[in-house]
Structure 1
């Protein structure tokens, strides 16, 4: 029925305060009633004592032998005197309840005579009649002289002042209690709202998170337990968002790796299949006609040898790229400048074949630690790639220089500008660009082998292309010794 905590708090507080208010009000009424009854009882006891003393003195003065007869004779006088002495309306009755005299018959007419009946039986009794602001007490007791009942005195006393005062006190307490309970209820309700509103915000935020919205936050600026709970909730959502982002990134990376692996496999399969198919085809032709057709035998054997060498080179490159090419070859301290000059000298003839010029610029004392054979292969692949993909009759520059405590190897060649999104792809296996005219048999492993070797040596490689100029930079940690700095 009540689905929110604030509604349950409100109903609970209302029930508790209503019950407490009713109990308090009833308790106050009972206390006032008991107090009034005690006051009336004490007053009536005094009234009885005073009136009994008066009657006894009257009997002693007159010394009447027949008390009942005398009581009837002096009833009118006695009623008048007692009315004046007690400030009450007084009636005198015979022992059988016959009215002898009354100071105000109307005060007793039409009233309940239960008290009179009790007095006729020899008992003292009183009857209280009251409403909101008035109260009257009928008090009767038998008059006893020398052990004999001689008559009955009945009093009607007004206690309106007492009951009026009690009523005002009760009203004051009622309204004060009502105001206090209303204020406490309002304060309790506001306090419960202060506690439940943040919980409602947390509930809405949790529902939004369950719906997939990780941007939601519980905006609760408090320093109590609820505030800490909100802070922990927000931290949890941020952590979940971070984890989901990481998972999404890993998923995309795995997807790319899967696609690259498939592409790599397809490329390897294709590149291996081509020479194998050619070798198989020429082998079958030689087996069938080689003995009778010498020219076919020579041509086929030449082609088989060329394709076998191509296949061997491809396999070696794949082994090198997979980092298995490092083997157990030791690291040695090598002069990168001297190595670059040797490579440029050997690659100059290849550049001339393509009608291009190779310029080498290198300083001395550029010491690095690594595997000379593999480092030489890095330079060969970079220069060979620049020769194949540079512009016609281009001048290719190869440089070795010191840079911030490292050794930088740079190969620069003019040619078509490479789009930024393609730069990193050049270091992927089997990537073939449309720029330039690659040499027949190239399968796109050169730069991927460069990156694998550089990574094994703790260096970095990057490609920059702008304004029809492409630049590949390899940065290697410089080797520092006492003799070579």
Structure 2
């Protein structure tokens, strides 16, 4: 809960409790005073009526006063009713009614009868239907003898209405005061809480990475000082975060560059090694008896070894910061390059009972021969890898001219590539988690794509039971 709501809730609760307590206390005081006044008034009525009864009965020459009361009951009823603005009931000592003009008999009269017979005076205050009635019961005593009972009702509703008006006015005044104090306290709370709220929002925004927060720091109070210190802290954090991010970016770039460089060099070394290993195995296993083939094989082993040696020397220079691997564009017969790659890769294909069938058109392209050779070695190697244990043992390679481009399509049967892999297949470090990819870095197709882009060409890969990799190179 926000602090301003807490303050408002606390102040409101205190005001309500104080208002209710004050209202209840004042109402009780007013009610006690009213009832005390009524009780005093009823006692005065008792004294006056008792004297009137005693005087009236003494003026009559009755031997027995109880008989006199019975005879004079109606007279006394009229007299007391008129002079004391009340209604009453005159009874003998046994409670039998001698005279009465009561419109109703309050239950208190019957309940008080036994106590009145014992000589007690009882005053009851009765609230009913927005009316206030005073009920007075007392014994008539003449010469220390009990001769009867008076039950008198007097209407104090006007006094009750005055009390009701006073309490309503008091309640209204209290409500007005509570509302006024509430509005005043709400305004003061908002004034106090607003800077705290702004500071809280700024801290939350800062936690979410937004450092462009502004605060009003004018003033000399504690909140203003805290806001200034917060802004100073924010600026220092922002500077430190920027420094950390810059350093992190440098480290990440360096780490990525090293990994890509390492994997690129691995692929560079893989190209001559593929030829050397393939031809060496064929010579060792004496697969071909043709002397001309053996001479070509030895020649290729020698040339690829020379190239491998050159690459190693270049890598040593690069590690010392003395050089970098560069290759110039030269005009090259793409058919001859592809035939050379196919001849090298056929050795590996035959080990898995696979055939490479090709149909190539002649064309001269300006290319980086070793880089393009690396692309096709990688693509054909993938085709061999994913064609193992399939129904079709043929890998087809077609080279043809179309739309002023030289296109090379490598087609093989394979299991479909998972959609999440296929959508990112030309990104770095993407590979299928399969047995064939245990030794893969996930950079092969990415490097192929980068090399073809460097030649202003394009490379695509179709997905399905037939996988087709198509390389397009401009003239």
- TM-score, scaled relative to structure 1: 0.47
Structure number with bigger Rg: 1
- TM-score, scaled relative to structure 2: 0.48
